[in-house]
Amino acid sequence: MPRILVIRGGAIGDFVLTLPAIRLLRESFPDATLDILGYKHIIALAEGRYYAHATRSIEYASLAGFFAPNSRLAPDLVAYFSEFQQIVSYLYDPDLFFEENIRRCGVKHFLNASPMVEEEGHAAHQLARPLERLALFLEDPAASLFPDAADHAAAARFFHGITGPVAALHPGSGSDRKNWPLRHWQELGARLSARVPGVTLLLVGGEADENALTILRQAWRGLPILVARGLPLCHLAALLARCAVFAGHDSGVSHIAAAVGTPCTLIFGPTDPKVWAPANAQVRVIQAPDGVLEHLPPETVLNSLLSRLNS
C-alpha cells in the first residue's frame, strides 16, 4: 500500500488552514495511507480523525541533522522517511538542506511546499497550490475537523448538567495586536448573559491567556460560566462543536470552532480576513473600523451573536 507523508509545523491556525490540502491528498489517493509529521499536540486533531492514519512528533532531536548540509543522519529516521512514496513538506527550507537530506534517504518524490502565505488570496488556496504540481487542484478552501467518540465523550462529561445554549468566547490569539480590548469582552459577556435566558458562557483559553481569563472570570462573577483552559485540542474541538455560537479573533481556536461547524462571529482588526478568516459558510467576520479594534463596539458583536442564537 503506498504511503504519503505530510510535514507541517507552525501554529494551530496554520495547521487547520492546511487541512483542505491534506484532504485533497487523502481523497485523491484513497488507497494510500497518509501520515503527518508535526507538533504532536496540534496534529492530534487529525490523527485517526479522518486525515491521518498515523502521526509522529517533529520535536525530535535527531531531526536536527536534516537541516544541515552533508550531516550524519539518524538511521531510524532514514528508515522512516524511506518508507514513503510521496513526501509533501511545509517546512521553511530556503537552502534546500532538508530536501537534499530527505532525498539521501532514497525518497524519489518530494514536494517542497512553502509554508509562507502572501497577502493575496485565501491562505488555504495558497497552501494547496503546490499540489498543482501533482495535478491536484483545491476547490473548497473550508477546513473540517472530525472529533472521535472519545473526544465527544470528554465533551459530554464537561457539559454534564448544562441544558441551555452555550456561547463560547475566546478573548486571545497569537498576538496582542489582534485582540479586542478586554473591557469590550467584559461588556459582551455580561450583556449576552442578560439577553439570552439560560445561556452559559464558555470562556476558552490557553496558558498564554491566563491573565485575560482571570480578569473575565472576576468580571463575570455570579454569571453561569464554564472555563475551558489548556484542554487537549481534540477535546476542545468536541466542546466547541456543542456550542450554539462562538466569538473570537483571528486565531487558531477560531479556526477549530469553524472547522467543527459552530456558528462563528470573528473579530478582525489589522489582519485581512480575505486571507486569514475561515472559509466555512457559517462564519461571519466583523472587521474593526480602519482595522482599529478599540473602535469596534460590543453592541455590534452582541447583535451578531444574538441573531445566530435566535435563528
Alpha helices in the chain (DSSP H): 12-28, 40-43, 75-82, 97-104, 123-128, 149-158, 182-195, 210-219, 233-241, 252-259, 273-276, 298-310
Task: Give me the pLDDT at residue 119, please.
Answer: 86
Interstrand relation of 3-8 and 33-38 (parallel, antiparallel or unpaired): parallel
For residue range 151-196, list pLDDT tens digits in order: 999 999 999 999 999 999 999 998 999 999 999 999 999 999 999 9
Task: Give me the pLDDT at residue 239, please.
Answer: 98
Task: Give me the pLDDT at residue 60, please.
Answer: 86
Task: Give me the pLDDT at residue 134, please.
Answer: 97
pLDDT mean over 284-290? 96
Task: Give me the pLDDT at residue 206, please.
Answer: 85
The amino acid at 125: H
Predicted TM-score of the model (pTM): 0.97
Average pLDDT, the chain: 96
Task: Give me the pLDDT at residue 1, please.
Answer: 80
Helix (H) or strand (E) holding 208: none
Q: For residue 311, is pLDDT > 80?
A: no
Which domains occur in the chain, in start order? 3-134 (3.40.50.2000), 149-310 (3.40.50.2000)
Q: For residue 14, is pLDDT > 90?
A: yes
